[in-house]
Amino acid sequence: MANSSYLFTSESVSEGHPDKICDRISDAILDAFLEKDPYSRVAVETLATTNKVVLAGEVRGPDSIDKAAMEAIARRCIKNIGYEQEGFHWENCDIDVYVHEQSAEIAQGVDASDNKDEGAGDQGIMFGFATDETPELMPAPIQYAHKILRTMATARHAGEVPQLAPDAKSQVTLKYENGKPVGTTSVVVSTQHLEGVSQQEVRDIVRPFVVNALPDGWMCPEDDFYVNPTGAFVIGGPDGDAGLTGRKIIVDTYGGAAPHGGGAFSGKDPTKVDRSAAYAARYLAKNVVAAGLAKKCVIQLSYAIGVSKPLSIFVDTFGTGSVDEDKLGNVLNKVMDLSPRGIREALELNKPIYERTAAYGHFGRNPTNDGGFSWERTNLADAIKSELT
């Protein structure tokens, strides 16, 4: 596809989407455990439907994060998102908690002991990707789709668009020529709104957010700009559609522009390589592109439960690289310890930094001083180049 012309589409969903509510609650509970004990083990799933939230999973950590604490966390998340609707209200929705102790058999395979290093929390394959299409080294369609909804949410929380409600989706289609994005051919935005707000009013509210999210001159033709194409969108969130943790894995990553191993991120502590190794793979791929060694790079890592080192490392630069891919793979394995412990320590993943990842993508975000989005740093680029010289 690098030397062809085509259309490519990616979608995003807002923090008020039912699945994203669930991701946020799961990650907020994870943060609560890590804040008390950085080595807590957490795997928490959330389900949300009309005035109902169910929490399930297994944990090992401080007793203070009990059922009452988890329920309070869930209510706080729902309130902060902005749900005070008859069919889903932070204050009076039912919340059931079915969270138990982690399996001793899983713990045995993961824990370090004697001469055994900490093992992966499960088997699986994880992918990381980077491309020079945007300054964030992310695929352009997903980056713009996220930006539309993120800026809409910021305005909603600031009271600037009181007509809008939390649930929303976006979809951006870009035209590529010779493998590079050159313009937008269509945009779809569906956003929940208050009763009595017309479709045209919603369209007028949404348009500036789309225009500002896209590069100058990239706005699609008016006939290809779709806002709430089915008409009214008043009933939204879990009252309109049930939500589950981990059901937006393509939204969370690269918008379909790269392979995905299938594992979700939210609610999982960093011993779960579904999350930590996907972050490490993104970190390495981004640093390869940032180092100027390729214009596009995908990295696959594979693990077995209880085994510390990756079983394989695969690198593909799609013909855009300046170095041999096998050699590059060996170098990446040298400059970063890709065991669960090594990833956790290098990226400082045992911190309460996960709730913020639950909406608008885990990648293409700005690293923060408290360790958030550490996998987006490009501080490994020089070390990679040095090993190749």
203 is in an annotated binding site: no
pLDDT at residue 286 above 90? yes
Q: Which pLDDT does position 119 carry in this prediction?
A: 72
Residues pairing with 183 in the sheet: 175
Q: Quick check: 304 and 110 in contact, CB under 8 A?
A: no
Active site annotation includes 17: yes
Query: Catalytic residue among 20, 150, 156, 282, which?
Result: 20
114 is in an annotated binding site: no
> What is the β-pairing status of strands 164-177 and 312-316?
unpaired
Which domain does 53 fall in, by range?
18-110
Query: Catalytic residue among 75, 147, 248, 296, which?
Result: 248
Please state, in angstroms and rounded to a whole number, the distance separating the CA atoms of residues 228 and 238. Answer: 18
Report yes or no on 119 lying in a domain.
Answer: no
Helix (H) or strand (E) holding 128, with range, is strand 124-131
Residues 262 and 128 in one domain: yes
Q: What CATH number is attached to the domain comprising 225?
A: 3.30.300.10
Please state, in angstroms and rounded to a whole number, the distance separating the CA atoms of residues 41 and 61. Answer: 6
Active site annotation includes 23: no
Residues 256 and 376 in one domain: yes
Largest CA distance in the chain: 67
- Average pLDDT value for residue range 309-320: 95
Average of per-residue pLDDT values in the chain:
94
Active site annotation includes 268: yes
Q: How confident is the model at residue 1 (pLDDT cuts 50, 70, 90)?
A: very low
Query: Catalytic residue among 241, 337, 348, 387, which?
Result: 241
Active site annotation includes 63: no
Tally of structural domains, the chain: 3
Residues 128 and 153 in one domain: no
Active site annotation includes 175: no
Residues 215 and 235 in one domain: yes
Q: Which pLDDT does position 3 carry in this prediction?
A: 55
Q: Which pLDDT does position 78 carry in this prediction?
A: 98
Report yes or no on 118 lying in a domain.
Answer: no
Active site annotation includes 20: yes
Q: How confident is the model at residue 122 (pLDDT cuts 50, 70, 90)?
A: confident
**Eight-state DSSP code of residue 126:** E
Indicate the range of 155-164, 206-215, 240-249, 299-308 predicted with least confidence. Answer: 299-308
Active site annotation includes 45: yes
**109: which 2 tokens?**
């395979």
19 is in an annotated binding site: yes
Q: Which pLDDT does position 107 carry in this prediction?
A: 54
Please state, in angstroms and rounded to a whole number, the distance separating the CA atoms of residues 164 and 167. Answer: 9
Q: Which pLDDT does position 203 carry in this prediction?
A: 98
Active site annotation includes 15: no
Residues 254 and 376 in one domain: yes
pLDDT at residue 264 above 70? yes
pLDDT tens for residues 175-203?
Answer: 999 999 999 999 999 999 999 999 999 99
pLDDT tens for residues 11-26?
Answer: 999 999 999 999 999 9
385 is in an annotated binding site: no
169 is in an annotated binding site: yes
Residues 210 and 348 in one domain: no
Of 182, 207, 240, which one is at a domain's C-terminal end? 240
Distances (CA, A) of 262 to 29, 48, 127, 246, 258: 22, 22, 9, 10, 12
Alpha-carbon torsion (136, 138, 140, 144), positive or negative? negative
- Average pLDDT value for residue range 239-245: 97
Instruction: Give percent of the chain above pLDDT 70.
Output: 95
Q: How confident is the model at residue 108 (pLDDT cuts 50, 70, 90)?
A: low
Residues 29 and 175 in one domain: no
Active site annotation includes 19: yes
Active site annotation includes 169: yes
Report yes or no on 180 lying in a domain.
Answer: yes
Query: Catalytic residue among 242, 304, 381, 383, which?
Result: 242
Token look-up 């890590």 returns 34
168 is in an annotated binding site: yes
pLDDT tens for residues 24-73?
Answer: 999 999 999 999 999 999 999 999 999 999 999 999 999 999 999 999 99
Q: Which pLDDT does position 4 carry in this prediction?
A: 81
**246: which 2 tokens?**
């981990």
Active site annotation includes 309: no
pTM for the predicted model, two decimal places: 0.94
pLDDT at residue 276 above 90? yes
Residues 206 and 298 in one domain: no
Active site annotation includes 247: yes
Q: Which pLDDT does position 105 carry in this prediction?
A: 57
- Average pLDDT value for residue range 74-84: 98
Q: Quick check: 164 and 152 in contact, CB under 8 A?
A: yes
Q: Which pLDDT does position 109 carry in this prediction?
A: 55
58 is in an annotated binding site: yes
Report yes or no on 1 lying in a domain.
Answer: no
Residues 265 and 147 in one domain: no
